[in-house]
Copies of this chain bind each other. A is one copy, B any other.
Amino acid sequence: VSPTKTAARPTLSRERVVQRALEMADDDGLEAVTIRRLATELSVTPMALYWHFKTKDELLAGLADRVLEDVVVPEPVEEWAEDLGALLTALITAMRPHPQAAQLVMPRMMVHPTGLELTERTLARLTGAGFDPERAGAIAVQALRTVLAMVTGDPVDDSVMTAAERDDHLRHKQALISSLPADRYPTLVAHAVALTWCPADTFLGTGVDLFVAGVRSLAPDHR
């Protein structure tokens, strides 16, 4: 008899586990992703997961790959710096819904095909703009870090929190900054709101703009 008809097919799969883990990371932070919690939520023994993943790190790598799979590699643009911006934005777009899992992407960039493709094109455009290999490499690495830095967590505090706590938290922060001695930190106090509540789109845009502008003005072929 075919196993698909009679026997219960395996309830678990790498995909199902990774999916659930990603949701947990999004909701409760990366440190809430636990083999044991994951197991009970999937109605299974902790050890069941070890059939599908050799270790917890492998599972986390699965999360990173899952994020990279969501990347839509953009059509090439003629102007090289603009193209760089598009590549960064593509990565940001995929990572943004999963800021927690995004932290895991770095070590997977040189393993996952999408990561490789993005890196390849970044390097190609940088060398095309006249950067020597060493400098191009350094800038490419910096680009990745910049993206991660932009996507990862809250600007002022990294502690994980539910959306519910968030407002209170921000207000608390603003109050804290506002209560600083204004004679010592005049600009800081005046900018309290801008520093804590900073609209995500403005923020992300600034990061990309900054990077692209910087690269452009450092380019050897820059007239």
Binding site for B on A (CB under 8 A): 106-107, 109-110, 116-117, 119-120, 123-124, 127, 133-142, 145-146, 148-150, 155-159, 173, 176-177, 180, 184-188, 190-191, 194-195, 198-199, 202-203, 206-207, 209-218
Contact = CB atoms under 8 A, between A and B. Distances in A.
A33 to B, nearest CB: 15
8 contacts: A107-B156, A120-B184, A120-B186, A127-B187, A134-B199, A138-B194, A139-B206, A146-B149
Contacts of A159: 107
Nearest to A151: B145
A150 B158 contact: no
Contacts of A138: 194, 198, 202-203, 206-207
A142 B198 CA distance: 12
A156 B180 contact: no
A180 B116 contact: yes
A190 to B, nearest CB: 7
B150 A206 contact: no
A63 to B, nearest CB: 14
A110 B214 contact: no
A210 B203 contact: no
Nearest to A157: B107
Contacts of A207: 138, 142, 145
B136 A194 contact: yes
Nearest to A57: B159
Given A142-B149, A209-B214, A212-B214, 12 more contacts: A107-B156, A110-B173, A116-B185, A119-B195, A123-B191, A124-B186, A133-B194, A137-B198, A138-B203, A138-B207, A142-B206, A145-B149
A11 B127 CA distance: 58
